[in-house]
Amino acid sequence: MSFSELYFNVDHGYLEGLVRGFKGGILKQTDYLNLVQCETLDDLKLHLQSTDYGNFLANEPSPLAVSTIDDKLKEKLVIEFNHLRNHCLEPLATFLDFITYSYMIDNIILLITGTLHQRPITELIPKCHPLGSFEQMEAIHIASTPAELFNAVLVDTPLAPYFIDCISEQDLDEMNIEIIRNTLYKAYLEDFYKFCEELGGATADSMCEALAFEADRRAFIITINSFGTELTKEDRAKLYPRCGKLYPDGLQLLARADDYDQVRNVANCYAEYKELFENAGSNPGEKTLEDKFFEHEVQLMKNSFMMQFQFGVFYAYVKLKEQENRNIVWIAECVAQRHRAKIDSYIPIF
């Protein structure tokens, strides 16, 4: 195991090379500078043609809709990801599957919330992320309680073990769905963290850091969002993923927090989070905490590319690409709605 770097390229060298090549296609700062100057979506399309995206919109009749761009962006990511997934060997295969689980969780929650609001399933399906689709997904609306959801739909999916903790919930209402989402996420992150730790080597180094950050971010966001809701502190504490840097002391402090300032005080104990909270705010000119987190994530993911012979690059690529999609869609929305004031709040990657 200590020589895993030596054999890495035998099994995963091709894909690592491929993903590093894909990384070269991620838009640069200059591309963004050009994109924000666009007057219409057709301009946007014209400029994207000169980047790595090539002719991905060539067969779409104008006028373009933002949702078409979004779909095509996702489609491109999914094609690339599936190419990687189809060519990989263990343990990379499991690793890539782990990446898709988070999209599955989001899809499940989306579908349940949708059915709760009496939306027809056919309308909801296109909104699901294609990376997280699974066979039983469309039949999800038959479930009316978490137990049913588990027994009928999720028992065959890889998410089944994460769901065990939620079965006790009584019925599916808004609050419980959020609790289910966070419990699932917590179990998923902890499992993924454990898996990466077992892989060891450089993969563990880069991935554990990324997942720890993800876990801490969730803990912060859960706490901040829980203010003013019926969620009790004990229930809230149960939702914190226990694999981040906040565990165990920080989480205990967070569990006791009553308002935003107390959360900030907790963050102040940790150098990397202190910085994020310091100049975040919702006033114009300031970046929101969410954006700050995204920025930090992008930084982490970029660092992941500095190390070789590890799986972190695959995770990093998917995350960076997702961020890029968010950026493009944001710019496209701003262009389409002629709302240029905030067009610069994208998060540049390179």
Where do contacts with other proteins occur on this chain (CB under 8 A)? Answer: 34, 37-39, 42-43, 46-47, 49-50, 58-62, 121, 135-136, 138-142, 148, 151-153, 155-156
Three-state helix/strand/coil letters over 32-70: HHHHCCCCCHHHHHHHHHCCCCCCCCCCCCCCCCHHHHH
Nearer to other proteins, 91 or 130 (CB): 130
Q: Which is nearer to other proteins, 151 or 288 (CB)?
A: 151
CB nearer other proteins, residue 62 or residue 67:
62
Q: How far is the CB of 65 from other proteins (least distance, A)?
A: 16
The minimum distance between CB 86 and other proteins, in angstroms, equals 17
Calculate the alpha carbon distances from 85 to 77, 200, 319 in Å: 12, 21, 16
Which CB atom, from 149 or from 211, has the smaller least distance to other proteins?
A: 149
- Shortest distance, CB of residue 238 to other proteins, whole angstroms? 28
In the complex, what is the shortest distance from the CB of residue 119 to other proteins, in angstroms, rounded to a whole number? 14
The sign of the CA dihedral 255, 257, 259, 261 is negative
- Provide, rounded to whole angstroms, the least separation between the CB of residue 151 and other proteins: 6
Residues making up the chain, counted from first to last? 350
Sign of the C-alpha dihedral computed for residues 237, 242, 247 and 250 taken in this order: negative
- Rounded CA separation 188/182 (Å): 10
Peptide bond into 248 cis (omega under 30): yes
Q: For residue 293, list its beta bridge partners.
A: none
Closest to 133 in 3D by CA, of 115, 107, 114 = 107
CB of 45 to other proteins, least distance (A): 9
In a 13 Å sphere around the CA of 83, the CA atoms on its Cβ side amount to 13
147 or 307: whose CB is closer to other proteins? 147
Structure tokens at 18: 């491929």
Nearer to other proteins, 58 or 306 (CB): 58
Q: How far is the CB of 27 from other proteins (least distance, A)?
A: 14
- We find the least distance from the C-beta atom of residue 316 to other proteins, in angstroms, to be 30
The whole-angstrom separation of Cα 264 and Cα 260 is 6
Report the Cα 121 to chain-centroid distance in Å: 24
Single-letter residue type at 77:
L
Considering beta carbons, is residue 133 or 303 the nearer one to other proteins?
Answer: 133
Q: Which is nearer to other proteins, 196 or 335 (CB)?
A: 335
**Token pair of 39 as six digits:** 């007057």
In the bound state with other proteins, the residue whose beta carbon lies nearer, of 33 and 175, is: 33
DSSP 211-276: HHHHHHHHHHHHHHHHTTSS--HHHHHHHS-TTSTTTTHHHHHHHH--SHHHHHHHHHTSHHHHHH
**Local structure of 287: helix, strand or coil:** strand
Q: Least distance to other proteins from the beta carbon of 46, Å?
A: 5
